[in-house]
Amino acid sequence: MKMGKISLLVAITAMLALFVVMFVRIGDPTVSHSTKFSVDEAYARAVGASAMAGAAFMQITNQSGQDDILTGAKTDVSAMTELHTHIDDGDGVIKMRQITGGIKLAAGETIVMKRGGDHVMLMGLNDSLDTGETLEITLTFKEAGDVIVEVPVDNDR
């Protein structure tokens, strides 16, 4: 009788642990290892299997209570990782440029990094970015330091 209760307790604990893992991985595929910033709707993509570059997009909310600046990003999947944006130089052609000085995030503010706007540029990819994989990208903030984000690859978005 006592052994049955222990087995039931172990089974319930295992089921709860599995539920937590499924919620984090399936319910919200973006995982941010920070209480100061929340990262939502993140995804990465590359154009074609032989692409030399890719990009990551996400929404970042500053929950730290103080203004901060996103100064850079890094990942092991590319030789170089930079913050980029698109700029109209006045000639009617939109050009991609590296963001210098970082991206300011006021306390409580959310920035949206999206296609055609600010994004994390992955240059010199070490391998293809395949749908279903997860990249680990480290975002560096002036005040908060490094925030590790797990970003799913979704080449269909």
Cα 70–chain centre separation: 13
- Per the prediction, the chain carries an average pLDDT of 83
Q: Which two tokens stand for residue 155?
A: 């080449």
- The confidence band for 58, taking pLDDT boundaries of 50, 70 and 90, is very high
pLDDT at 3: 53
Backbone dihedral region for residue 11 (phi beyond 0: left; psi -120 to 50: alpha; all else: beta):
alpha
Does 8 score more than 50 pLDDT? no
Neighbours of 62 (CB within 10 A): 23
Starting at the earlier edge strand, list the strands of the sheet with 103-105: 31-32, 145-152, 134-141, 68-74, 103-105
Q: What is the mean pLDDT of residues 71-95?
A: 93
- pLDDT digits over 89-121, tens only? 888 889 999 999 999 999 999 999 999 999 999
Does 131 score more than 60 pLDDT? yes
Q: What is the mean pLDDT of residues 62-78?
A: 96
Q: Check: CATH 1.20.58.100 for 31-152?
A: no
pLDDT at 91: 87
pLDDT at 155: 84
Distance CA 48, CA 131 (A): 11
Q: What percent of the chain has pLDDT over 90?
A: 65
Min mean pLDDT across 10-14, 69-73, 145-149, 153-157 is at 10-14
pLDDT at 157: 85
Does 42 score more than 50 pLDDT? yes
